[in-house]
A and B are shown apart, each in its own frame.
Chain A
Amino acid sequence: MIETVLDALRVVLKTEVNADTSVHNTPQWDSLRHIEVIFAVEDATGVQFDEAELGELDSVARIVAAIQAKHAA
Chain B
Amino acid sequence: MNAGNAVVVILPGVVVAVGAFVVFLVDLFVARKAVLAWIAAAGLITGAAVAVGQWISVSNGLHFNARKPQTGFAGMVSLDKYALFCVVLFAGIGVATIMLSDAYLARRKAARGEFYGLLLLVITGMIGMVVSTDVVAFFVSFELMSLPTYVLAGYLWRDERSGEASIKYFVTGAFSSAILAFGLALVYGASGQTTYSGIAAGLAKLSGLDARGFLVVAFVLVVTGFGFKISAVPFHNWAPDVYEGAPTPVTAFMATGVKAAAFAGFARLFVAAAGLQWQTWAHTMTILAVLTMVVGNVLALPQRNLKRMLAYSSIAHAGYLTLGLIAAGTSGKPLGIAAILFYLFAYALMNLGAFGVLIWIRNRRKFAYTLGEIGGLARTMPWAAILMAVFMVSLTGIPPTIGFWGKFYLFTAVVQANLTWLAIVAVIMSSVSAYYYLRVVWYMYFREAPQGAEMEAEPKSSQLGVTVAVSLAAAGVLVVGLFPEPLLKAAEGAVRLIFGG
Q: Do A and B come from one complex?
A: no
